Amino acid sequence: MLRGILIGVLTLGVAGTAFWGYQEHREKNAILINAENNYQRAFHDLTYHVDVLHDKIGSTLAMNSRASLSPALAEVWRLTSEAHSNVGQLPLGLLPFNKTEEFLSRIGEFSYRTAVRDLDKEPLSDKEYQSLKTLYTQAEGIQQELRKVQQLSLKNNLRWMDVEMALASGKEATDNTIIDGFKTVDKTVEGYGETDFGPTFVSNEKKDTDFKYLQGKTITEEEAVNEAKKYAALGNNVNLNITENGNGSKYGFFSVTIQDKKTKQEASMDITKIGGYPIWYILSRDVKKQSISLNEASNKAIRFLKENGFKELDLFDSAQYDNIGVFTFVSRQDNIRIYPDAIKVKVALDNGQMIGLSAGDYLQSNHKRDIPKPVISREDARKKINLQVKIMEEGLAIIDNDLNHEVLCYEFFGVLGDDTYRIYINAENGHEEKVEKLKNAEPIFEGVV
């Protein structure tokens, strides 16, 4: 009797284990099938979008009027964005595909820049037209290589999950049609070199990031450590680590890490060699309660910046995240706000301690500018704004436009309904450069955690 019961229990156990294993196997297969389907869709969408992109670039070569050329170039820009999205959905993170992505980026930037400008006043130049012809030819090369990969993958029923596993295991060097095909695509693009779009083209990838406006003597490692100690205020019972960076760059920096041996609090800072300016700084510690107001914290941030040589700044924005105040400052010249010169400061609201600083943008661009006089009047600039917007504040400002050019603008703060907007009107030609909706106070939901 007992034996029969034990056999029955074991049989049920084996059956249950088998059923559980079967369910796990089914669920795993369902996940793999879903992932494979997503990869297949992204790949075939990529091939399709490159096909259409090639045709659309070819169509622009036959156009001349703004009415047809601007929408066509906007469509080229949309297609490059779609292709970028498709690439991002494929398991190519470990596979070099950057040349193709850079190529798509250059097409997108050129088409967007051209689509938004007034082509009646500034039609395509001969160099830009030749660049379009070059892009058309190059896009055909990518199209053909992708079609070869597509044809082989369909013919041989290849799976993208195999690609992901090969890349993850480091076995991509073995024969894999899809991996080999994408390497061929990227090698094809690498052979094109960079297309010359003319002297007016500005690429985001080439934005100058050197600290060319820095002034002062070159500091030593010891001086960098002393500067970091002053910011961290952790005393002398600390562990120190400093490394020298910027090899090959004229404008190098030191990276300093300081750890309090007792509390284990850690502060990190990058400091420029020229002048000893902090590029960024962060002190890692918990801020568990609020003891000072956001306004008090802003005054401490202002005083801190003045004491450390940052002058002629306006407090542009302030926000509170938990028990930390975050303040953004911009430089000011002749009562004109210079938004490219931005500094962010984080202040702990328990004791007013400065626990974070980001001054990279300021150090890269701050200098004495030769600011031109506005060409259009403030009244003419206001006429460019939607009549439904109630203007509350106005002034002059320098901003970076979509092409990374600094432009002088009239800055208007206006209200429409319950929302506040910041509107920039180009002071030279009256173009609406930017419209930004300012964040409203976030609602507080009680008891949601």
Residue ranges of domains in the chain: 19-201, 209-283, 286-370, 378-437
> What pLDDT was estimated at residue 34?
73
Q: What is the mean pLDDT of residues 24-44?
A: 71
Whether the predicted pLDDT of 8 surpasses 70: no
Local confidence band at 445 (pLDDT 50, 70, 90 cut-offs): very low
pTM: 0.61
> Who contacts 61 (Cβ-Cβ below 8 Å, separation ≥6)?
129, 132, 133, 136
> What pLDDT was estimated at residue 134?
82
> What pLDDT was estimated at residue 382?
92
Whether the predicted pLDDT of 443 surpasses 60: no
> What pLDDT was estimated at residue 399?
92
Fold of 378-437: Nuclear Transport Factor 2; Chain: A, (3.10.450)
The segment with the largest mean pLDDT, out of 78-87, 156-165, 178-187, 406-415, is 406-415
| Long-range pairs for 179-182: beta carbons < 8 A, 24 or more residues apart | 179/95, 181/145, 181/146, 181/148, 181/149, 181/152, 182/92, 182/95, 182/97, 182/149
Q: What is the CA radius of gyration of the chain?
A: 29
> What pLDDT was estimated at residue 329?
93
Asked, colleague to colleague, whether 286-370 and 378-437 share their fold, the answer is: yes
Fold of 286-370: Nuclear Transport Factor 2; Chain: A, (3.10.450)
> Who contacts 330 (Cβ-Cβ below 8 Å, separation ≥6)?
313, 314, 316, 337, 338, 339, 341, 342, 343
> What pLDDT was estimated at residue 212?
82
> What tens digit of pLDDT does each residue of 205-261 get?
444 456 788 888 888 888 988 888 888 888 888 888 888 875 545 568 888 889 888
The token pair that represents 386 in the structure block: 């939607």
The token pair that represents 440 in the structure block: 């409203």
* Buried b or exposed e, range 159-171, using 16+ CB within 10 angstroms: ebeebbebbeeee
- Tell me the β-bridge partners of 321: 324
HSE-CB at 171 with a 13 A cutoff on CA atoms is: 9
Q: Are strands 336-348 and 390-400 parallel, antiparallel or unpaired?
A: parallel
380, 392, 379: which is closest to 419 by C-alpha? Answer: 392
CB neighbours of residue 146 within 10 Å: 23
* Buried b or exposed e, range 367-403, using 16+ CB within 10 angstroms: eebeeeebebeeeebbeebeeebeeeebebbbbbbeb
